[in-house]
Structure formats: C-alpha cells, structure tokens
Amino acid sequence: MNETADAIKPSIKLCMFDQYGTVVDMQGGLTAAIAPYLKRKGWSGSPNALVTWWRRTHFENSMIDALLQREHTPYREIGHRALGHVLERAGVAHTPEEVRQLVAEIERLKPFPEVPAALARLRTRYPLVVLSNGDPDMLEAAKPHHGIAFDRVISVAAAGAFKPHAATYAKAAELVGLPRGQILFVANHAFDCIGAKSAGMRTAFVDRRGRPFGATPHQPDLIVPSMTALADAIV
C-alpha cells in the first residue's frame, strides 16, 4: 500500500468522498433510528437486516432510474419508494408520513468516529469535496449533523444520474476544474470505486468491514481499513 501511495501522491490534487456510508455511518445510524419504530410495530425481526434490505432496494431502484435515461428521480423519492416496499414485504403496517420521517433520518447521520480527525489531517494537503447520490437539499441539511466543512458538496443531480453512471464523475471533475486523474475518489462501496476508476479517477477503497473488493478490471489504487489509514498513507 505504501509504495502505491507514494507513487500516486504527487499527482493527487484533491480528495473526493462518497458521503453515505463512507463519511457518515448510514447502516448504524438508520438501524438505531428504525429499531424503536419496529419495536412499536411489534415486528420481531432484525432492524439491522431490515436496513440492509432497505438500502439494497434503494440501490436497485436508483440503478434502474439511471438506466432508464429519463428525468432524474430525487434520492428522497427513491428512498420513500424503497422503504415503503420493504416495510410492505416485511408485513409492517405503515403510513406515508412514517416513511417520510424515517427517510429523513438520512439527513441526521453522524460521521464514523475516526472521520473528523482524519479529514482534518487530509485537509492540510488537499481540498476535500463530496460527490453524493443525495439530493442537494438533503446534503445541505446534513452539514450541521456531520459537522465537516467540506470545500464543496456536489450532488449527482447536477449530472442527472446516480453513481456509478460515468456522467456523475465527469460532471464532478468539471465542477472542481481538475483532470480526473488528479482526483482521488474515496468510498466504502466497491461499486463507487469501480465507477470512479472507470471514469478516470484514482480511487481509495475504505474497507471497514474487511471484505474482498472483488474481481474487476477497475481495481482501487489504495485499499485501507479506515479513513485514519488513508490519512497515514497520503498526507
């Protein structure tokens, strides 16, 4: 890892981050938010498993939306559809307002414990930018909750498609005014690293769960176990 980091450091001019699941703890935060709701409903299953199901359904629906190449559907709307579908499949009686309140918890997610200090170290060398599938207003509402002063926060709404569509990374690079090869894209999700690498960016995979990246021609330039390790490698 260190040899690779030393090789790419001279070319990296900016670090760009996925927000949901990379900067903020989406799985943990949504599980904590939905657990008391499910308990009140008398549902005896695992809240963590239901959140995984919710997130996978959301991802599937967002990929369908991007592939249709129609008008971009807001992230929030896809969230409402995904959670409503999962609750219905799980046999949990719910109202549209309850679904809206639970999806709104995404705006209040907290960062992983090591993230603020690690990003403060990275800031000493690089501008820090977010590229997120979230809607612009959701990302704005999240700022006081994660408390990280990014230099810029970009929503994929600017490109009219969800990541990992190539247009999202191309638009982000255009907006920050840098060649893609001078941007290090950082994500906890393999699909996002694959999309960014395929689009011409350098990539770092934050492997918090200790899982294989998988076979793909678009391997990440760096694999690190945490954001702290990323700062250790490239600052």
Give yes or no: residues 122 and 228 share one domain: yes
Give the residue carrying structure tokens 């309140």.
Answer: 101
Find the mean pLDDT for residues 114-129.
98
Find the mean pLDDT for residues 162-176.
97
Write the CATH number for 121. 3.40.50.1000
Question: Which pLDDT belongs to residue 8?
Answer: 93
Give yes or no: residues 157 and 198 share one domain: yes
Give yes or no: residues 71 and 82 share one domain: yes
Give yes or no: residues 181 and 147 share one domain: yes
Question: Which pLDDT belongs to residue 138?
Answer: 98
The Cβ of residue 217 has, within 10 Å, a number of other Cβ atoms equal to 7
Question: Which pLDDT belongs to residue 66?
Answer: 93
Give yes or no: residues 161 and 99 share one domain: no
Find the mean pLDDT for residues 62-73.
94
Give yes or no: residues 16 and 60 share one domain: no
Give yes or no: residues 162 and 75 share one domain: no
Q: What is the pTM of this model?
A: 0.95
Q: How far apart (Å, rounded) are the C-alpha atoms in residues 144 and 111?
A: 11
Give yes or no: residues 115 and 169 share one domain: yes
Find the mean pLDDT for residues 91-117.
98
Give the residue carrying structure tokens 């909750």.
Answer: 145
Confidence band, pLDDT 50/70/90 cuts, at residue 2? low
Q: Give the domain extent around 36.
A: 26-108
- How many structural domains are present in the chain? 2
